[in-house]
Structure 1
């Protein structure tokens, strides 16, 4: 499977997990009350906060597209940088949480970090050079031509 498809699939998995962790967080007692009071994670709900939240979800979504369309060298670097930055960003979800919720946050953050580590490994081990179509054509030209009887 091409590295680009692998990266896009990993970012898709990460994005769904990331969104669902935030969604399931809403089931925690008191969270909806805080939202109705205009507070999220100790921050007042504002256009700036919502823009930051949108950006944090939009980046993995854009990485799906970028992983399939960017040239290899830029693609590799972009995946390495973004996945590296998202590891501490994902871990921030556990800040200030009680031990009652340790398993939920531990599991969710653990899964997110595993997916990000997979993205880092896939991007890091991406072959730096691939055969160009011209090279492949030249290697085919150097093989002797076979007739159907010789094959």
Structure 2
């Protein structure tokens, strides 16, 4: 008798799904920022202190950019350890905020960048959906 073996398919807790989505989002951020370095003039502009649409380098702008990247990176961990009610609120709020930020980055971006931002928006939509449906 040739019995088929079934693979175990355990349900994945919502907090782990959220954490994985934030990790995926961070990978998309990192790769998109890396790929944009290949656009002619980008590195020269950076060396001259240009921050693209943000204008010229200032410490305040860099602190803002650092926070914008540190928050979703922190959500990878926070989604899995904070109390469910707090995690739900954080995921809903930050999912919406980062979807708005992602939409703003579409303006004037190269086509490859826009494509990756679309994947970011899918991840963010899933974060919002999971947080909304979290019972």
Establish whether TM, by shorter chain, passes 0.5.
yes
Cα offset, 1:68, TM superposition? 0.7
Runs (5+) with no aligned partner, structure 1: 128-151
Q: Equivalent of 2:123, from 105, 112, 115?
A: 115
Does 2:80 correspond to 1:72? no
- Runs of 4+ aligned structure 1 residues displaced above 3 Å come to none
Report the number of matched residues. Answer: 123
Does 2:104 correspond to 1:92? yes
Does 2:31 correspond to 1:20? yes
CA contact (8 A) 2:36 2:113 kept: no
Q: Equivalent of 1:32, from 16, 37, 43?
A: 43
SS of structure 1 residue aligned to 2:18: helix
> Which deviations, in whole Å up to 9, do the C-alpha atoms of 1:39-89 show, x marking residues without a partner?
111411121121111111101111111101111111101100000000110
Mapped partners of 1:106, 1:32: distance in 2: 20
Runs (5+) with no aligned partner, structure 2: 1-11
Cα offset, 1:106, TM superposition? 2.4
SS of structure 2 residue aligned to 1:8: helix
Q: Equivalent of 1:48, from 49, 52, 60?
A: 60
Give RMSD over aligned pairs. Answer: 1.1
TM-score by length of 2: 0.86
TM-score by length of 1: 0.77
